[in-house]
Amino acid sequence: MQPPLLTTRRDFLRTTLLGGALSWTVPSFVANTFSALHASADGALTQVTTGKDGPILVLIQLAGGNDGLNAVVPYSNDFYHLARPTIGLKPADVLKLNDTLGFNPALAGFKSLYDAGHMAVINGVGYPNPNRSHFRSTEIWQTASDENRFLTDGWIGRYFDNACAGCDPTVGINIGDRLPQAFSSHNPTGISMQNPASYRFMGAGLNDDEEAAYRSMYGASPDDGHGTGNAGGSVSMLSGTVTLNNGQSALDFLERTSMDAQVSSDKIRDVANKVKNVATYPYGGLANNLKLVARLIAGGLPTRVFYLSQGGYDTHTNQRGSQDARLKELADSVKAFTDDLTALGQFQRVTMMTFSEFGRRVTENGSRGTDHGAAAPMFIIGGGKLQSGIVGAEPSLAPADLEDGDIKFGTDFRSVYATLLQNWLKTPSTAILGRQFDTLPLIG
Amino acid sequence: MLSPLPAAQWNEATTAHLLNRAAFGGSPQDIEDLRLMGPDRAVSWLIDYERIPDDTPPPEWTQGLPDDLITQRNAISGAVDSDTRNLLQRMRNLDENKKIADLRYWWMRRMALGPRPFQEKMTLFWHGHFATSFEKVRFPYFLWLQNETQRQAATGNFPQLLVSMAEDPAMLDYLDGERSNRNKPNENFGREVLELFTLGEGNYTEQDIQQLAKAFTGWGLAKDQLRYEYHPTNHDPGPKTIFGQTANFTGEEALQVICNQPACAPFIVSKIWRFFVQDEPPAAVVTALAASFKASGMDIKQLMRTIFRSQEFYAPDVIRAQIKSPVQWLLAASHQLEAPLPTEPMTLVMLLQLGQELFQPPNVKGWDGGVAWVTTNSLLDRYNFAAALVEGQRVPLPSLLGQMRGFNASLEDDGLLQIGPAAVQQLFTAPQLATPDSFLTALQARFLNGSLNPIRLASMREFVQSRAPLQEPDIRKSIRLLMSTPEYQLT
């Protein structure tokens, strides 16, 4: 009688693999994993619609829900001071933009940009029926959906689908671990990396014949740091959506994507090493990521959209300590980035947008912090044709004008998206956002 | 149409294919043992698994619940002040995170080592079909319960499985069935049942959803929030009109009406075919399978037996044409390397990075699978994780985890960040290691159940020749290289 097949060498109850004392937690990521198909037109290795001098959009996610009121402070508003007896900023401390609004002093870097005409501050950005869950509201911002709809593709992903057929895989780059939902698309494009050294086939080290062998398997010569050849399998031409119905097999798809990984990995490392940063950046993760972005832009990658994330904005307790530090890091890093881009001759091509899943409540809570809210300001920074200044009416903080104690939105965030899509990236926005949203006078 | 594969066509390739699809792959010995059974007995060995005893213990923390949970909950609600309550909440969150990690790893080990691999594979299918997520259901206990229910009912009768899923606490929580009552029926569950679990879009109306929502009222949780309980006063006892039939349907009766709809059998059959066989089920196959599925009262085991015995299952364009899921990738590699799973942190990090967190699918549709697993990033990750599995390198942790410095240090101390190199020389006989060609033949047989394309093979041959005579490190590198090919990602 045949012995049971798979039980002979097993000892299921052996628990040596688990260190008994240690408990390992799995952090719950706000940015999810999700399906990401890869664009596979044969022209992927050449730039079709992305030009090396084309406009670039840099998105910075402020993860956690940035408190707009303590960033762009309505310093002459009594309701603000009444609602925030301990965490409110004093009028004397704010960097005044006009008679009513001023920046938190941590945003000195932003003030320079504003004064130099490179920043627009959009008041009261949000959406109807705001959701106050990190997960769900982030999803809404990433997919540009109405609050009662559930989309899986991201708005940038739909931009890639609509405007980037045959684009290079590096047309979208996320500096981070996994693609954000904003990039999720039907013909997925875009790569994620923490740094050029990690986005590659990792051999054992220098003079590593393992890596050389890997390259030669993909048709590149072992000495050649630039894989350009065919993978040896059939790479079929595709049109339209990527499904395997178009005569392409799963193997073809894998061949193509593998080749793209190899080529984009080499290209990024080349570019990142070719250019040097000029400006002095502050110390920190965001600054490091922006340094890399500056080099990739100046090095001529065909990337159109960069995505970065800065965490730590979920300031339920002791907000002044944490939010001020986050804002300072943000402003100082962005200022250095714009200085760098200017010195590298690239600033006029770049527009940046910050966004956060929600603002925070008007009234402080009992822990010298604030809880999840709704509308908040957005910062747009740009070196080319940006209409600097304050956009949109300052939201009223009178209790009667609040919604459940939260700021009502005046500008739908999809108007901001529409503006950047149409006027900066020069692509129609209706198909991408589902309908037409009014644009704002930001560009041109 | 769907006639059994002739015994004459049963060979190593078809056996490997069966083991890869109905289970998670195996070593050459595993494949040979199965091949010797012949097609009928091999399929039976896999799917008639009740004959194989399984006394795998559940996760230790699921026993002693629910009392622990009640204690925990009472402590939080009875906290003397908000600071204490916040602290207890944070402790509970940490506890939940610990348990979900433990649950994920428990299931991975069960898939890797358990005596009934097909039962686990079928459970994995239902896990994606009846998707719920830890993102919302913050209760590892419920998720474990649901997993066990799916496991017990994996090859039973579909209508019964559907009812047990509808009355499952995790599902009730996830789709808000728990918060539905006769005054305000919640349509979320009704919609998902029709769209995702039974009929698919286009085969029902909004009216059907609303009426179904009424029938489903009354399902809920017991007062302790720890188990399913039916609340008659919440149930709408009146008439509902579903798919043209009017009666005072209870929830269970409504579900049977749905199963009897013409669209149901083809929907289920297609989904199963896509998961186990190929992306595009041929229409004639779906029609034939749906008819016999329906005639059998929707008997899942009978369906699977038909599929795994059929010539269509073993067609040349089916074999080695499916992209491995992350779970499949890791488990198959373990079998091929005859090595244990990596440690819990490493296993869960790999699956997270590759896009398949168990108990946390990206949305209600589960995981799309197929080409959805493939991006430039995920391929590079698979190639680099292969280096960790085979050559014993550190797995590059996502930076988010890497930033938790103190945490990293303790993982390091406990040896949980490192994967030791795999012992690979023992996987090959001396004759197999004698020449580059004999080695490559054995290498491809073990790791691909197939072969590399000629260009890759030529590159591998050059590499192997340059390193002959082969020692352990050379064999490891060869394996790592082979795992870094498009061909390796197929099953």
Query: Choosing among A177, A183, A209, which should be mutated to test the B contact, i.e. which has the most B CBs within 10 A?
Result: A177
CA proximity to A329, closest of A312, A344, A307, A352: A312
Token pair for B14 = 């078809």
CA distances from A184 to A143, A367, B7, B490 (A): 9, 37, 46, 24
Distance between CA atoms of residues A440 and A419, nearest Å:
6
Chain centre distance of CA A363: 29
Distance between CA atoms of residues B413 and B229, nearest Å:
46
More confident residue, A46 or A111: A111
pLDDT, average across residues B191-214: 92
B431 and B393 within one domain: no
Collect all residues of chain B within an 8 Å Cβ-Cβ radius of residue A258. Answer: 379, 485-486
Distance between CA atoms of residues A73 and B136, nearest Å:
35
Which residue in B has a C-alpha nearest to residue A38's C-alpha? Answer: B375
B186 and B167 within one domain: yes
B127 and B138 within one domain: yes
Q: Is A34 left (phi over 0), alpha (psi -120 to 50) or beta?
A: beta
Give the gap in angstroms from C-alpha B247 to the nearest C-alpha of chain A.
32
Enumerate residues 6+ apart whose C-beta is below 8 A from A285: A310
Asked if residue B76 belongs to a domain, the reply is yes
What pLDDT does B174 receive?
A: 85
| Highest-pLDDT range among A214-228, A416-430, B405-419 | A416-430
Q: Please tell me the least confidently modeled range out of A422-426, B75-79, B122-126, B150-154.
A: B75-79
| B37 reaches A (C-beta below 8 A) | yes
SS3 content of chain A, % helix, strand, coil (to 5): 35, 15, 55
Distance between CA atoms of residues A216 and A232, nearest Å:
11
DSSP conformation letters of A121-158? EEEEEE-SS----HHHHHHHHHHT--TT----S-HHHH
Distance between CA atoms of residues B74 and B90, nearest Å:
15
Asked if residue B320 belongs to a domain, the reply is no
Q: Which of the four pLDDT bands, split at 50, 70 and 90, describes residue A229?
A: very low
B346 and B227 within one domain: no
B238 and B136 within one domain: yes
Asked if residue B119 belongs to a domain, the reply is yes
More confident residue, A239 or B147: B147
pTM: 0.83
Q: Which of the four pLDDT bands, split at 50, 70 and 90, describes residue A239?
A: very low
What pLDDT does B412 receive?
A: 63
B340 and B221 within one domain: no
DSSP conformation letters of A162-229? HH-TT--GGGEEEESSS--GGG--SS---EEESSTTTSS---SSTT-HHHHHHHHHTTS-TT-SS--S
Average pLDDT over chain A, rounded to an integer:
81
Collect all residues of chain A within an 8 Å Cβ-Cβ radius of residue B421. Answer: none
Distance between CA atoms of residues B306 and B11, nearest Å:
19
Distance between CA atoms of residues B218 and B221, nearest Å:
10
What pLDDT does A225 receive?
A: 40
Q: Which of the four pLDDT bands, split at 50, 70 and 90, describes residue A52?
A: low
Contact A59, A306 (CB under 8 A): yes
Q: Are A255 and B104 within 8 A, CB to CB?
A: no
B472 and B345 within one domain: no
Residue A243 clears pLDDT 50, i.e. is over it: no
More confident residue, A184 or A236: A184
Collect all residues of chain A within an 8 Å Cβ-Cβ radius of residue B348. Answer: 24, 26
Q: Are A17 and B487 within 8 A, CB to CB?
A: no
Give the gap in angstroms from C-alpha B260 to the nearest C-alpha of chain A.
29
Asked if residue B96 belongs to a domain, the reply is yes
Q: Are B416 and A22 within 8 A, CB to CB?
A: yes
pLDDT (tens digit per residue) in B286-317: 999 999 999 999 999 999 999 999 999 999 99
Cis check for the bond before A4: say yes or no (omega within 30 of 0). Answer: no
Contact B378, A37 (CB under 8 A): no
Task: A289-293: list long-range contacts, CB under 8 Å, 24+ apart.
Answer: A289/A175, A290/A333, A290/A334, A290/A336, A290/A337, A290/A340, A291/A337, A291/A340, A292/A175, A292/A195, A292/A196, A293/A58, A293/A173, A293/A175, A293/A337
For chain A, what are the domain ranges?
A: 42-203+242-433
Residue A31 clears pLDDT 70, i.e. is over it: no
Q: Are A22 and B374 within 8 A, CB to CB?
A: no
Which residue in B has a C-alpha nearest to residue A23's C-alpha? Answer: B98
Collect all residues of chain A within an 8 Å Cβ-Cβ radius of residue B57. Answer: 13
pLDDT (tens digit per residue) in A345-373: 999 999 999 999 999 999 999 889 999 99
Strand partners, B490: B323
Asked if residue B89 belongs to a domain, the reply is yes
CA distances from B33 to A127, B43, B276, B415 (A): 62, 13, 22, 36
Q: Are A19 and B105 within 8 A, CB to CB?
A: no
Residues in chain A: 444
Q: Are B399 and A177 within 8 A, CB to CB?
A: yes
Percent of chain A beyond pLDDT 90? 62
Collect all residues of chain A within an 8 Å Cβ-Cβ radius of residue B343. Answer: 17-19
| B397 reaches A (C-beta below 8 A) | no
Contact A242, A187 (CB under 8 A): yes
What pLDDT does B66 receive?
A: 62
Strand partners, A125: A376, A411
Instruction: Count chain A–chain B contacts defined by CB atoms under 8 A.
Output: 215
Distance between CA atoms of residues B350 and B367, nearest Å:
16
More confident residue, A42 or B115: B115
B254 and B302 within one domain: no
Which residue in B has a C-alpha nearest to residue A252's C-alpha? Answer: B486
What pLDDT does B67 receive?
A: 65
Give the gap in angstroms from C-alpha B480 to the nearest C-alpha of chain A.
9
Distance between CA atoms of residues A422 and A439, nearest Å:
8
Strand partners, B241: B246
B230 and B101 within one domain: yes
Enumerate residues 6+ apart whose C-beta is below 8 A from A400: none
Q: Are A366 and B372 within 8 A, CB to CB?
A: no
Collect all residues of chain A within an 8 Å Cβ-Cβ radius of residue B188. Answer: none
Residue A13 clears pLDDT 80, i.e. is over it: no
CA distances from A314 to A40, A211, A326, B90, B383 (A): 39, 43, 11, 15, 36
Q: Which of B217, B236, B260 is the last residue of a domain?
A: B260
**Which one of A178, A199, A233 has the shortest CB-CB distance to B380?**
A199
Greatest extent of chain B over all pairs of C-alpha atoms, in Å: 80
Token pair for B109 = 């080990």
Asked if residue B14 belongs to a domain, the reply is yes
Cis check for the bond before B66: say yes or no (omega within 30 of 0). Answer: yes
| Highest-pLDDT range among A12-21, A218-227, B84-93 | B84-93
pLDDT, average across residues B7-33: 97
Distance between CA atoms of residues A66 and A356, nearest Å:
6
Distance between CA atoms of residues B452 and B384, nearest Å:
20
| B391 reaches A (C-beta below 8 A) | yes
B338 and B211 within one domain: no
Collect all residues of chain A within an 8 Å Cβ-Cβ radius of residue B374. Answer: 37-38, 253-254, 257
Token pair for A234 = 């059939």
**Which one of A13, A33, A257 has the shortest CB-CB distance to B379?**
A257
CA proximity to A62, closest of A322, A320, A326: A326
pLDDT (tens digit per residue) in B67-104: 677 777 788 888 888 788 888 888 888 888 889 999 99
B255 and B164 within one domain: yes
Give the gap in angstroms from C-alpha A13 to the nearest C-alpha of chain B.
8
Q: Is A97 left (phi over 0), alpha (psi -120 to 50) or beta?
A: alpha
Residue A42 clears pLDDT 80, i.e. is over it: no
| Highest-pLDDT range among A35-49, A228-242, B120-134, B402-416 | B120-134
Residue B234 clears pLDDT 80, i.e. is over it: yes
| B374 reaches A (C-beta below 8 A) | yes
Distance between CA atoms of residues A21 and B230, nearest Å:
41
Find the helix or strand (DSSP H, E) in which B247 lies.
strand B245-247
What pLDDT does B414 receive?
A: 65
Count the Cβ atoms, other than its own, within 10 Å of residue A151. 19
Q: Are A210 and B481 within 8 A, CB to CB?
A: yes
Asked if residue B92 belongs to a domain, the reply is yes
| B428 reaches A (C-beta below 8 A) | no
| B400 reaches A (C-beta below 8 A) | yes
DSSP H stretches of helix in A299-442: 319-343, 413-419, 430-433
Chain centre distance of CA A10: 46
**Which one of B134, B352, B486 has the shortest CB-CB distance to A254?**
B486
Angle at A358 between CA A354 and CA A360, to 5 degrees: 115
Collect all residues of chain A within an 8 Å Cβ-Cβ radius of residue B94. Answer: 23, 25
Q: Which of the four pLDDT bands, split at 50, 70 and 90, describes residue B228?
A: confident
Give the gap in angstroms from C-alpha A385 to the nearest C-alpha of chain B.
35
Collect all residues of chain B within an 8 Å Cβ-Cβ radius of residue A24. Answer: 98, 101, 344-345, 348, 411, 416
Q: Are A232 and B453 within 8 A, CB to CB?
A: yes
What pLDDT does B411 receive?
A: 64
Domain residue limits at B338: 326-413
Ranges assigned E (strand) in A312-399: 350-355, 376-382, 389-391
Give the gap in angstroms from C-alpha B246 to the nearest C-alpha of chain A.
31
pLDDT (tens digit per residue) in B398-452: 544 544 444 555 666 666 667 788 999 999 999 999 999 999 999 999 999 999 9
Q: Which of B289, B314, B339 is the last residue of a domain?
A: B314
More confident residue, B86 or A250: A250
What pLDDT does B415 receive?
A: 65
What pLDDT does B178 receive?
A: 63
Token pair for A427 = 């692509």
Which residue in B has a C-alpha nearest to residue A192's C-alpha? Answer: B377
What pLDDT does B26 receive?
A: 97
Token pair for B443 = 């290498």
Collect all residues of chain B within an 8 Å Cβ-Cβ radius of residue A243. Answer: 371
Residue B183 clears pLDDT 80, i.e. is over it: no
* Fold of the CATH domain A42-203+242-433: Alkaline Phosphatase, subunit A (3.40.720)
What pLDDT does A220 receive?
A: 58
Give the gap in angstroms from C-alpha B148 to the nearest C-alpha of chain A.
18
Contact A63, A309 (CB under 8 A): yes
ipTM score for this prediction? 0.90
Give the gap in angstroms from C-alpha A33 to the nearest C-alpha of chain B.
5
pLDDT, average across residues A236-260: 62
Token pair for A275 = 């250019």
Residue A231 clears pLDDT 60, i.e. is over it: no
Give the gap in angstroms from C-alpha B178 to the nearest C-alpha of chain A.
20
Average pLDDT over chain B, rounded to an integer:
91
| Highest-pLDDT range among A382-386, A432-436, B387-391 | A432-436
Domain count across chain B? 4
Distance between CA atoms of residues A433 and A156, nearest Å:
10
B194 and B68 within one domain: yes
What pLDDT does B429 receive?
A: 96
What pLDDT does B87 receive?
A: 86
pLDDT (tens digit per residue) in B460-487: 999 999 998 999 999 999 999 999 999 9
Which residue in B has a C-alpha nearest to residue A198's C-alpha? Answer: B396
Give the gap in angstroms from C-alpha B377 to the nearest C-alpha of chain A.
6
pLDDT, average across residues B332-345: 94
Q: Are A251 and B486 within 8 A, CB to CB?
A: yes
Pairing of strands A350-355, A376-382: antiparallel
Q: Are B341 and A17 within 8 A, CB to CB?
A: yes
More confident residue, A124 or B82: A124
Token pair for A432 = 């991408």
Q: Which of the four pLDDT bands, split at 50, 70 and 90, describes residue B227?
A: confident
Enumerate residues 6+ apart whose C-beta is below 8 A from B241: B207, B211
More confident residue, B239 or B75: B239
Collect all residues of chain A within an 8 Å Cβ-Cβ radius of residue B352. Answer: 26, 33
Give the gap in angstroms from C-alpha B384 to the nearest C-alpha of chain A.
6
Pairing of strands A172-175, A305-310: parallel
Distance between CA atoms of residues A5 and B29, nearest Å:
9
Percent of chain B beyond pLDDT 90? 70
Contact B476, B391 (CB under 8 A): yes
What is the tally of helices (H) and strands (E) in chain A? 10, 12
